[in-house]
Structure 1
Amino acid sequence: MPLKTLFLNPPSFENFDGGAGSRWPATREIESYWYPVWLAYPAGMLEGARLLDAPPHHVSGEETIQIAKDYEFLVLFTSTPGFPGDILLARAVKSANPKIKIAFVGPHVTVLPEKSLRECPEIDFVCRKEFDYSVVDYAKGKPLEEIPGVSFLKDGQIVHNPDAPQIQDLDSLPHVTDIYKRDLDVTKYNVPFLLYPFVSLYTTRGCPAQCTFCLWPQTLSGHPWRKRSTDDVAREMAKVKELWPDVKEFFFDDDTFNIQKARTIELCAKLKPLGLTWS
């Protein structure tokens, strides 16, 4: 059995909707949350795992600490604005459950792995860039020294393992909507320019553009553009239509959805018979 793993988008502070999947974390006049898509992939690969998206479900820090007592491994998606609070939470979790292992993932620790580790000794390791298989391998018992894409401290010295190869076969990954159905309440998510309730997911990863202002290709998804097959996307969309008959819109939150015209047309043809509203 793998380590019992909790995938966490941590509690945030009042009126702040940052964290996993948020492109523009900010204080808002209305409540607005994005799905923790990146955490959902590995959460679907490990038996006994749970995805806890604390901010939209209004799970407090204290409640999170209590939940984490039942787990052996915590994977926390951090953000730069949230990092100071996230390391306080990690310390409290470790204090309440000293045997738990903690990994931080996300853009912040990708860019600042050593600084992040030294600021919080309770973090056992961080994953740089895509982390799907890195955390799964660890949960299944693979030694840290053998896992690509991780950084950790050993005898006070920083160890940066070589980068993990980018995932090419996106069809091999779980459908994130299965994990949403299991662990999340879709009515808790709202974005003003989408119909409510909505569900978002990815059909591709990466973007070849070199926009200096864009966080994700530079820190997580990378620049090489990789795609799911149109058949795999259509299968998932047919399934979500049955899972959530009341959902009003399905949103493909790809960095660059329509980069390949022929694929876009092919996918549209396969989605049209489903009669869904998608964007």
Structure 2
Amino acid sequence: MPIDPAAALAAPPRSTDIAWEQRDVLLYHLGVGAGAHRPATDPDELRYTYEKDLQVLPGFVTVAGGGLAKAGAFSQPGLDIDLTRVLHGGQRIELHRPVPVFGRAVLTSSLAAIHDKGKAAVLVMRSEAADADGPLWTCDTEIYARGEGGFGGERGGSSRVEMPDRAPDHELEIPVRHDQALLYRLSGDWNPLHADPDFAKAAGFDTPILHGLCTYGITLKAAVDTVLDGDASRVLGYSARFAGVFFPGETLRVRIWAEGDDRFLLTASAVDRADAPVLADTVLTTRPA
């Protein structure tokens, strides 16, 4: 059987050393569109693109030190999965404190859960980073493995978020560069689906698609700039479900609803394709200013 739930869940956590520096942070920020929509010298953008007063957008933790690939997510016992049938279903990050511009940490990774959805399995890969001062972040990656369900496991709860029945408090349109995927992949995701037209066509797309985690980062930056006065250190948690594809060169529509002062609900859609869903069930939680 490709997935042995008992063996996979019983496997001991894996630990590896990771490190990053300001160059990695700057490259990630450019990869999610920093500096592209305002004058390059605008102070609001320089905090993402220039080392003086540089802050770290929390989405960076998904690529810091090599991201999921560094964690060896699919190499543990009990997981013999056809990677061509795997989809990135969702992403959640929890920040225990602001991410430093320069850092060294131990990344501990494990399989937190396996849900049986019948025709598919959902695997929750958990990575926890800690440095000499204590925990830094927890990152949960949901992997949707087609054809791997039906093993008799628990179905798991729903992560669906009920959206308010009112107009959003903020609505933004963000043009995305045609070369955005080529920039983002330099942070470590080398999947040719995001660069090679022939590979993309073989996968059923007319042209390469944008990384889901790139759209995730673009949307987070838009929310930080809009509702947190650009202060990325206020982010406590951010989660999203990947609801559809997005193509470089399209315009992303981000809608934001405030639920009090510390919780925001978001959606992201493709303006060019009649607001086709891109991110759904997206929640941002924050600490007070």
TM-score by length of 1: 0.28
Greater helix percent: which structure?
A: 1
Between the two structures, name the one with larger relative contact order (CA 8 Å, sep ≥ 6): 2
